[in-house]
Amino acid sequence: MIDVPPSERAPAGRVGVSSDRPADHVRAESFSVFYGGNEAVRRVSLGFATGRVSAIIGPSGCGKSTLLRAINRMNDLIPGCRTEGRLVFDEVDVNSPKVDVVTLRRRIGMVFQKPNPFPKSIFDNVAYGPRLLGIRRRARLAEIVETSLCRAALWGEVKDRLRDNALGLSGGQQQRLCIARVLAVDPEILLMDEPTSALDPRATTRIEDLIAELRGDYTIIIVTHNMQQAARVSDETAFLYEGNLVEFGDTRQIFTNPSVKQTEDYITGRFG
């Protein structure tokens, strides 16, 4: 057996990556996240391709949300949480002191499991971020609100009730509003942590359709415990188990012909 130095080895279990794959938009390099002494993400190396949809799957507690939240530094506020290795976005480590977290979170937006609109009007929810960025002109705000709601496939349903409280919307509409709120500050990357797990099947389909529409314009990284969803919406899939990246590669290949036995056991429902 040829002894290849670790830095030159291909990432574990990487399969089916074609040569026309776009460049990585975010890249983890031997990246770990610790909660105190618990290493929740363990020396993970992988790249999320620009403009593509990447899914992170794996059983509950395997570190999916921890890895996702690290990308826009949402773990910063958790006492005892620290990282090792690198998480590179735009050629800079997101944990570098040079990085302004507010700017980072504008460029890398996040959508959570439970829709969390502010108890404000639909308009004010979407205008919230742009206003924080200093946009004051009424006409400009109205334009951003309309564009963002259109992109989030919600405009038609709410255009006549922009002054209504967002909490009066259905769960699925609220989640699309939260996506519009993120889009309003013109991000490059969308992080989604189980964005449909609180929604009914119809609302779930609408979000999945929306992800397909946004694909290409944004780099989308979605955590899901629903393997059918990962198979439906993503180009590439990362399978995490107990903090380790077991396998990462082309979604179709991961689901039809995984190269690691553990992945096969998981996707065929033998555990997790």
Ligand X SMILES: Nc1ncnc2c1ncn2[C@@H]1O[C@H](COP(=O)(O)OP(=O)(O)O)[C@@H](O)[C@H]1O
Site residues (CB under 6 A) for ligand X? 35, 38, 40, 58, 60-66, 78
Residue 60 binds: one of Mg ion, ligand X, none (C-beta under 5 to 8 A by kind): ligand X
Cross-strand pairs, 165: 121
Q: At which residue do the structure tokens 């009066």 appear?
A: 168
- d(Cα 172, Cα 88) in Å, to the nearest integer? 33
Residue 13 binds: one of ligand X, Mg ion, none (C-beta under 5 to 8 A by kind): none
Residue 61 binds: one of Mg ion, ligand X, none (C-beta under 5 to 8 A by kind): ligand X
- CA distances (Å), origin 59, targets 9, 176, 227: 27, 26, 10
Cβ 39 to Mg ion shortest distance, Å:
16
Amino acid symbol at 151 = R
Q: Which stretch binds Mg ion (CB under 5 A): 5-13, 59-67, 210-218, 235-243?
A: 59-67
Q: Are 172 and 200 in contact (CB under 8 A)?
A: yes
Q: Which two tokens stand for residue 212?
A: 């397909």
Cβ 271 to ligand X shortest distance, Å:
14
Nearer to Mg ion, 65 or 173 (CB): 65
Nearer to ligand X, 220 or 223 (CB): 223
Cβ 95 to ligand X shortest distance, Å:
17
Q: Give the Cα-Cα-Cα angle 54, 58, 59 (nearest 5 degrees).
A: 150
Q: Are 103 and 147 in contact (CB under 8 A)?
A: no
- d(Cα 108, Cα 215) in Å, to the nearest integer? 15
Residue 224 binds Mg ion (CB under 5 A): no
- d(Cα 20, Cα 102) in Å, to the nearest integer? 33
Q: Which stretch binds Mg ion (CB under 5 A): 58-66, 138-146, 159-167, 205-213?
A: 58-66
Cβ 24 to Mg ion shortest distance, Å:
23
Nearer to Mg ion, 13 or 195 (CB): 195
Q: Reading across the β-sheet that carries 244-250, which strands appear in turn?
A: 14-15, 244-250, 236-241, 53-57, 219-223, 189-193, 108-111
Residue 35 binds: one of ligand X, Mg ion, none (C-beta under 5 to 8 A by kind): ligand X
Options 32, 45, 54, 65; binder of Mg ion; rule CB under 5 A? 65
Residue 32 binds Mg ion (CB under 5 A): no
Residue 95 binds Mg ion (CB under 5 A): no
Binding residue count for Mg ion, defined by CB under 5 A: 1
Footprint on this chain of Mg ion (rule: CB under 5 A): 65
